[in-house]
Each structure stands twice: as C-alpha cells, then as structure tokens.
A and B are shown apart, each in its own frame.
Chain A
Amino acid sequence: MRSRSGTLGLAAFFAVAVLPIGASLLYALLYSVGLAGLLAEGFNGRAWLAVLGGGEIWWSLILSVWVAAAVVAAGTALGLALALGFRTDRDNALDCGVLGYALYLPLALPGAVAAFFVFQMLTGGGFVARVLLRLGLLSDPSRFVPLVTDRWAVGIILAHTLLAAPFLALLFARLYESERVDELAALSRSLGASRRQSLWRVEVPILLHAAGTNLALLFIVILGSYEIPLLLGRQAPQMLSVLTMRKFALFDLRQKPEAFVVALIYTGLVMALIAGLFRRGRVDG
C-alpha cells in the first residue's frame, strides 16, 4: 500500500509538472481546431490546413533543424578539440589554472546577452569590421559581409556555439575521467595502435557515446531557442519559437490558431525525440 506522503508527493508532481502542461496543450489543441478562443467558430481544420499546406512551417522546421545540427556539430568539434588538445598525460588542464576559470565565463552568458554580443561584433558597423578596417584588411566598410540576419543563420549558429562549446569541453573533460578513457587509450597503444588510431578509434567514439544524451538534449534546446534567433535571425524563414511568437502576437487574431498549430507540431516533435531517447535507454535519470 502506498504511504500518505507518497500519494501527496505524486499528487504534487502531477499538479506542478503534468496538469498545467496537459491543460495548456489541450487548450492549444481546442483553439487550433476552432473549439476555444475569441474567434471559435466550431470544429474546423482551417488553421491546420493553412499551416501544413503553406511553406512557412517547413522552411522554419528546416532552418531550426539546420541550426540545431550545426551547433551540435560545431560545439562537439570545438569541445573535443579543447578537452583532448589541452590534456596532458598527467592531468586535465581544463580543471586547473586560468583555463579552468576562463571556460566557465561563457557559461554565465544568457542567450540574450550572447545574441547582443554577436550582434555588436558582426554587424556592418560592428567591432570586427572596425578592426579589419584599422588593420587595412578591409578597404571599404560596405564590403564587409555582416554575419547577422544572414541566409545561412551563421550569426545564430556562432552565438549558440559560443555558449555550447565551453560546456561540451568541460563535459568531455569530465567524461574522460569517469569513463577511464586514458586507461583504454593506453591499452590500445600497448596493443600496437598509433596515437592517431587511438584518438579516432578509441577516445573520440567513447566520449561521443557517453555524451550522446547531452548532445541530444542540446539539439532539442537549440531547436526551440528564441532569444538568439529573435535578434540575429531573418524575418523569413524564422526558427520555430520565433514563428510561433510572431503568429501569436500579431494584431490579426486569425493568426492565433496557427500559432497554436506550430506550437503543437513542435511539441509533438520534441516529445517524439524524448520518447526515442527513452526507448533507446539513453535517458534514465
């Protein structure tokens, strides 16, 4: 028999974590099919047809997946380079000295600040353009190609990578210890593997496998990011969260059901990704 405190504990869990989300998603679903909200006209699938039939959501999805994948790839490459490049046979340099403190600095940057910093650096009148002009590497300010609000979302990717790479470097460095990668690498070398083979066939695969869940969660977080693409992204296409907010905040109330459709599609996508992680046993608390 379950104890009274156990029942209360689970009730609190449902009241805080499940009920508000469930009620909100139900309201969003009802709104999207015309059964709730100011303009409720009875059950219809107009908003769903408009969103799924238009190209905007698909471009938004492609952009969001591209940014998330590029950040995870760039962050992983940089994180591995930092964690493995600064490692000595005796210790992990990321744990001590000035580097041990410096890598924590970018972790203190909120997304809004990272976006503002990248904006200040990479716009046409930004710091990078000024330095290039001073060094004579740029003859005319108009020839500087701004990397914000650009087609390939380079500014968004750079801002996210600025935040993700130090985190992943520290994570890989810690996993190197906990997974005893040094012992396995030494074993591979004693069996005749070269340093290069040991790195690419032993150390990197073990670290990537051990960090798999964190990388998947990072992908999900970037997929739904808002602050950075809000400042550094283009008007079209927009990342999923920015698109949702734009449709939600428009004066045209007929766009609101479409905002809920985008929100529900995104929610379904994220829940499927998390369910996939659970099914593969990568997430177990």
Chain B
Amino acid sequence: MAKKAAVALVVSLCGLPLAVLAVLSFAGAWPFPDVVPSHWTASRWLDVLTGRGGLAASFGVSVLISASVALLSTVLGFVTSKHVAYHPRRRLLLFLAYVPFALSPVILGVCLLYVAIQAGLSGTVAGVILAQTIFAYGFAIVLFQGLWSPRMRAFEDLVRTLGGSTWQLYARVLVPLAQEMLLLCFFQTFLISWFQYGLTVLVGGGQVKTLTLKVYDYVGEANVFYAALASCLLIFPPALLLWANKRFLFKAV
C-alpha cells in the first residue's frame, strides 16, 4: 500500500511539469490567487497549427538545426571515432574530445564567436549548426569508443582478408553491427542540439530564433502563456525520442 502511494507520488511529480505547462498553454486568464485558470482558450495552439505568430517557424528551424547537427555529428563521429579508438595515443585524443563536450556551451560560444564572425557564419543557421556540431561531435566520439572492440577489429580484418572494399566494409558490416549505437548517437546529439540555448544565442546573434530562444523571449515579455506553449512544443520531440529510445538508452552502462 505504502509502495503504491510512493509510486503514485513519484509519477505525479514526474508528470507535474508537463501538466502545469499544458494547463498554462490553454489558460485564457489565470488571476492570483486562483488555483485553476478562470477560463480556457485553444487560440494559441490554433495559431501554431495555422503557422501564425512565428512559433511554427521556430519549431521548423529548431528541427532543421537539431536534425542537421545530429546527422553531421553521428556520421562524422562514427567514421572518425574508429581512428581515435585504434590510435596509439588514444587517451590524449579522447581527452581532446572531452574538452568541447565538457565545456559550458556559453563559454564555448563566447570563444567560438570570433571564428564564426571571421568565417561569415555569425547570425546564420549554418553557423549555429556548425557551432553545435563541434559541441555534439565530442559527445559522439566519446560514445562510439564503446563500439570499437577487438571483435569489431577482427570483423574488419576478415572483410579486408576476403577482399572487401572500404565501402563494402562500412555498408555490409560496420553500419549493420553499429545500428543501435548509431541510432542512440543520433537521438542523443539531436537532444543536445534541441536543448541548446547559450551557443545559439551567441553564434546565432539573436537572428536564429529557435524554440528555446522563444521561451526566453516570452518570459522576458512576461507572456507566460506563450512561454508555456513554446515549452510544450520544446518537450514534445524529446519526449517522443526518449520514449522510442527507452529500451537501449542505458544499455551501454
């Protein structure tokens, strides 16, 4: 009985943020000290669905940036992590891979901004994608280290011995064997990018309006209802990905 009550409490606490934000996004007005909104409205959600107000556009930009970052860092990380893993100075290279991944995105952004300005990428979607890829790529390198075992190397040697080309090695052996890890890396780097704020503000120069920036814009305008709506839109893709990812999210532990 006590355990059931404890489960109910934990489930309620976990669901509370989502519930409160959903209620706020449908609230017409919520004067103090009412515990529930005085009236409800679906107009904000209709605005999103019909593309008014810029939230739908921000959602699209966010998806574009996160999907690009995830694809770039997963592909690059998969191909290059092998050479890091098999290198005689592996520990040094791994240390270097940890640096962008462990640095604060804001600190990284402050330092990277000069490079972005020089490259003419400041304030552009491409600049934000590249900056976030540097950040996510370090994570991909670290994640893929678990993949390159002596067994994988033996498979590679076998393919080479049997006359397989590099393309055949990747297409027929390595990618199928690494399928789960590739998906995991894609999901995780997507989330890293999706949750990003500081780096986007700095390199995007406020021009690239992702959903995370919108949340702060609305909070700054004291528009809590739209901030809640933007928050709901921010939660939806990660919740979906985490649910799909659930079965092997902690498998590598």
Contacts and interface: CB of A to CB of B under 8 A. Distances in A.
B104 A266 contact: yes
A59 interface: no
B11 to A, nearest CB: 4
Given A21-B134, A174-B250, A220-B102, A110 B238 contact: yes
A29 to B, nearest CB: 10
A104 B83 contact: no
Given A104-B242, A263-B107, A270-B102, A17 B137 contact: yes
Interface in A218-254: 220-221, 223-227, 230-231, 240-242, 244-245, 248
B76 interface: yes
A28 B243 contact: no
Nearest to B169: A5
Nearest to A242: B106
Contact of B219 (A97, A102, A231, A241): A231
Contact of A120 (B105, B110, B224, B253): B224
A108 interface: yes
Interface residues of A, number: 88
Interface string A163-183: 000100011001100100000
Contact of B35 (A16, A24, A134): A134
A130 B35 contact: yes
Interface stretch (A44-52, A197-205, A277-285): A277-285
A24 B111 contact: yes
B114 A24 contact: yes
Contacts of B94: 278, 283-285
Nearest to B231: A113
B7 A13 contact: no
Contacts of A263: 107, 110-111
A103 B242 CA distance: 11
B7 A133 contact: no
B54 interface: no
A59 B215 CA distance: 29
A111 interface: yes
B176 interface: no
Interface stretch (B38-46, B178-186, B191-199): B191-199
A116 B234 CA distance: 12
B83 A9 contact: yes
A9 B17 contact: no
Contact of A274 (B14, B98, B251): B98
Contacts of B137: 16-17
A120 B238 CA distance: 22
Contacts of A259: 110
Contacts of B100: 17, 21
Contact of A133 (B33, B202, B227): B33
B111 A28 contact: yes
B166 interface: yes
A224 B107 contact: yes
A54 interface: no
B141 A13 contact: yes
B210 to A, nearest CB: 10
Given A17-B100, A20-B134, A116 B227 contact: yes
Interface in A185-226: 217, 220-221, 223-226
Interface in B105-132: 105-108, 110-112, 114-115
Given A9-B82, A170-B250, A245-B198, A16 B219 contact: no
B235 interface: yes
A10 B108 contact: no
B107 A244 contact: yes
B208 interface: no
B198 to A, nearest CB: 4
B231 A117 contact: yes
Contact of B133 (A16, A119, A244): A16
9 contacts: A86-B10, A102-B14, A110-B234, A117-B20, A175-B253, A221-B102, A225-B104, A245-B106, A285-B145
Interface of A: 5-6, 9-10, 12-13, 16-18, 20-21, 23-25, 27-28, 82, 85-86, 93, 97-114, 116-117, 119-121, 125, 127, 129-131, 133-134, 141, 162, 166, 170-171, 174-175, 178, 217, 220-221, 223-227, 230-231, 240-242, 244-245, 248, 259-260, 263, 266-267, 270-271, 273-275, 278, 283-285
Interface of B: 3, 6-7, 10-11, 14-15, 17-18, 20-21, 24, 32-35, 76, 79-80, 82-87, 90-91, 93-100, 102-108, 110-112, 114-115, 133-134, 137-138, 141-142, 145-146, 166, 194-195, 197-198, 202, 212, 215-216, 219, 224, 227-228, 231, 234-235, 238-239, 242-243, 246, 249-251, 253
